[in-house]
Amino acid sequence: MSNPLLAPWDAEFQLPPFAKINDDDFEPAVDVAMEQARANIAAIADNPDAPTFANTIEALEGGDALLNRVLGVFFNIAGSDSNPKRQELQRAFSPKLSAYASEITMNTALFERIETLWEARDRLGLSPEQSRVLMLTRRAFVRSGAKLTDGARDRLTVVKERLAVLGTDFVQNLLADEADWFMELSADDLDGLPDFVLTAAKAAGEEKGVSGHVITTSRSLIMPFLQFSTSRDLREKAFRALENRGANGGKTDNRKIAAETLALRQERAELLGYSDFASYKLETEMAKTPAAVRDLLMQVWKPAKVAANRDALVLTERMHADGINGDLEPWDWRYYSQKRRAEEHDLDEAELKPYLQLDRMIEAAFSCAQKLFGLEFRALDVPLYHDDARAWEVIRDGQHLAVFIGDYFARSSKRSGAWCSAMRQQQKLAGDIRPVVVNVCNFAKPAAGEVALLSFDDARTLFHEFGHALHQMLSDVTYESISGTSVARDFVELPSQLFEHWLAVPEVLSEFATHAQTGEAMTKDLLERLLAAQTYDMGFATVEYAASALVDLAFHEGAAPVDPMARQAEVLEQIGMPHAIAMRHATPHFAHVFAGDGYSSGYYSYMWSEVMDADAFEAFEEVGDAFDAGLAGKLEKHILSAGGARDAEELYTAFRGRMPGVQALLKGRGFAAQ
């Protein structure tokens, strides 16, 4: 076939032929792959033979293999290296794929076969993994409307198609606002900015076609600017640009999209027999109910707000001492907090950052994976979708395990944030299929010839996303539908957040935190100061996160708000949001919640998982060895390799022997004594 997306992939490890793929190849490839998938589904539904697990469930597992292969490439590229053509294709594909999914779940004959198997499940002799896949498949069909009739079925299909379109529009509007805004700095605007910020701002200027220094909304650039710039006016301008993404009026404004999305989600839930969308969404998560989510969030919110308000008083005094009267504002917090940290912990970001080289932090993540799980990483020289991306073969005991791709630098064609995805997932049904896993970040790119430096928060992000990658790479299940990160949303962050703990292990930093100029290891004194400051400003970090999670929950519990911005303001007033702290993600740029259903009613998941990750790392602390082989083996067996083969609570209990309470989380955030 002339279309490289449809032809056999004969490159090493069957990697996509990136060098041969043209944007014009995607649409015809999707059309062909979807036609093939429809034919496969029809063959399953119309099979005259009695339904069996093999001819129905396993056939469904592989029915859209070609479509998944094509879309795995497209959506990875569209998110990390967008262009007008790819955005146009996203807009075209969204309703088409939603309609295709509805065709499957609304196929009466197909669902009848699944129901027949479900009713006979105790007599089928299924393995535990097969029983799990049957349950999850049937549940997905029911929750997608398979039991609805006539008008309700048709309306649900329309609702889901519209939601798919709105999610795509939301992301593209946000990307446009982020790509369009930048702030040029004159020589007089550089006061207070350390060399690493100046270098990153210069590189950002080059990317924008500007000869001088530029600040963009990339978090790795704008956050240190807010920390160090002595110009309060410029800090305010930068902060407002960050805060107003998706709310600037005009065609990229996301506020009406958010309102329509919430209304349609409520309608979707009611069509399926639920009182509200939160009840529908949380039914399949570990939390189960909105009440359980709110209980956890409020257990953490209360001590976090006490800490944040206490810190705000200290920072306000510092600001007043500078001759600035009035209230501490959100664009002041990071500036005065940085000064306070430098004094109280003798820790300055400018002193720390040269020790956190991107390449050395990648090596550190690889080293931890080697010590814990025996993984080796061999650099690959292969064509990829962008020059900034790089790849490694993952090997264990001489055997190929996965391909890992890292794409670390911010660019205007990449959506904000950081994420892990898989161009191909692990499975055994179609052979020993090994995954191709991608980590995408938005670190500030250095000027040509300069070393890429990270903040400690950046380094933590790198470890976080690599934890997700390990969940994919170590997956060892038969069925793709339960492979890797295909788990409950409030369980999926456990491996990622748990792996963050290894960044702060002293022996890891001692080996890999080496100075970019001198090559010397981080001094013992600096290492001790860094680790002592781990919970510094944790009130601020917890408040900005928990506020977003509480607003997300309020959006989806009860009737959908007509005006989401008014509802957001109402929630923040009810919980007593500190004036000088903004939500981590305000509604118009809350992509976790409005880019799709993934984290809708589910932004709390990071904290739910943190309850487990704090407790899980305590297991290593209890034995006095962060690389204890026995515990690492249990972690891989019961969590990292298991995917969704068992219930999340069962998996965690198998690893730890019990479910945890919130105490380890409070201790880890420095709130245990409050």
Would you say residue 400 lies in a domain? no
For strands 399-409 and 390-396, give the pairing.
antiparallel
Judge contact between 458 and 409, C-beta under 8 A: no
pLDDT digits (tens, 9 = 90+) for 166-187: 999 999 999 999 999 999 999 9
Residues 69 and 132 occupy one common structural domain: yes
Contacts of 595 (CB under 8 A, 6+ apart): 167, 170, 171
Contacts of 205 (CB under 8 A, 6+ apart): 184, 211, 212, 213, 214
pLDDT digits (tens, 9 = 90+) for 535-548: 999 999 999 999 99
Residues 169 and 39 occupy one common structural domain: yes
Residues 18 and 162 occupy one common structural domain: yes
pLDDT-derived band at 350 (thresholds 50, 70, 90) equals: confident
- Decide if pLDDT at 674 tops 60: no
Strongest mean pLDDT among 113-117, 197-201, 351-355, 667-671: 113-117
pLDDT digits (tens, 9 = 90+) for 503-536: 999 999 999 999 999 999 999 999 999 999 999 9
Q: Where are the beta strands (DSSP E) in 62-194?
A: 183-185
Total structural domains within the chain: 2
Q: Is 272 left (phi over 0), alpha (psi -120 to 50) or beta?
A: alpha
Active site residue 27: no
Would you say residue 605 lies in a domain? no
Cβ neighbours, 10 Å, residue 91: 14
Cα 190 to Cα 154, 237, 318: the distances in Å are: 59, 15, 22
Mean per-residue pLDDT for 607-620? 96
Tokens of 137: 């498949």
pLDDT-derived band at 391 (thresholds 50, 70, 90) equals: very high
Would you say residue 645 lies in a domain? no
Mean per-residue pLDDT for 15-40? 97
- Domain end position, chosen among 217, 244, 271: 244
Mean per-residue pLDDT for 150-162? 95
Nearest-angstrom CA–CA distance, 595 and 188: 39
Residues 143 and 198 occupy one common structural domain: no
Residues 167 and 192 occupy one common structural domain: no
Residues 55 and 102 occupy one common structural domain: yes
Task: Specify the long-range contacts of residues 313-321, CB closer than 8 Å, at least 24 apart.
Answer: 314/340, 315/340, 315/580
Would you say residue 89 lies in a domain? yes
Residues 212 and 141 occupy one common structural domain: no
Residues 197 and 239 occupy one common structural domain: yes
pLDDT digits (tens, 9 = 90+) for 213-233: 999 999 999 999 999 999 999
CA dihedral 33, 38, 40, 43 (to 10 degrees): -160
Nearest-angstrom CA–CA distance, 375 and 49: 45
Residues 127 and 206 occupy one common structural domain: no
Mean per-residue pLDDT for 602-622? 96
- Domain end position, chosen among 189, 216, 244: 244
pLDDT of residue 1: 57
Annotated catalytic residue within 465, 480, 544, 557: 465
For strands 213-215 and 183-185, give the pairing.
antiparallel
Residues 159 and 112 occupy one common structural domain: yes
Cβ neighbours, 10 Å, residue 465: 24
Would you say residue 259 lies in a domain? no
Would you say residue 353 lies in a domain? no
Q: Can you give the residue range of the structural domain that contains 191?
A: 181-244
pLDDT digits (tens, 9 = 90+) for 440-494: 999 999 988 899 999 999 999 999 999 999 999 999 999 999 999 999 999 999 9
Partners of 357 in the β-ladder: 453
What CATH number should be reported for the domain holding residue 26?
1.10.1370.40
Radius of gyration of the chain (CA): 25
Mean per-residue pLDDT for 617-631? 97
pLDDT of residue 673: 55
Percent of the chain with pLDDT over 70: 100
Pick from 389, 383, 346, 301: nearest CA to 572: 301
Nearest-angstrom CA–CA distance, 351 and 286: 42
* Cα atoms in the Cβ-side hemisphere of radius 13 Å centred on 290: 19
Mean per-residue pLDDT for 278-299? 97
- Domain end position, chosen among 125, 142, 175: 175
Residues 38 and 131 occupy one common structural domain: yes
SS3 567: helix
Nearest-angstrom CA–CA distance, 111 and 131: 17
Residues 28 and 117 occupy one common structural domain: yes
pLDDT of residue 232: 98
Would you say residue 102 lies in a domain? yes
DSSP notation for 300-334: HHHHHHHHHHHHHHHHHHHHHHTT--S---HHHHH
pLDDT of residue 150: 86
Mean per-residue pLDDT for 421-439? 97
Would you say residue 306 lies in a domain? no
H or E stretch at 207: helix 195-208
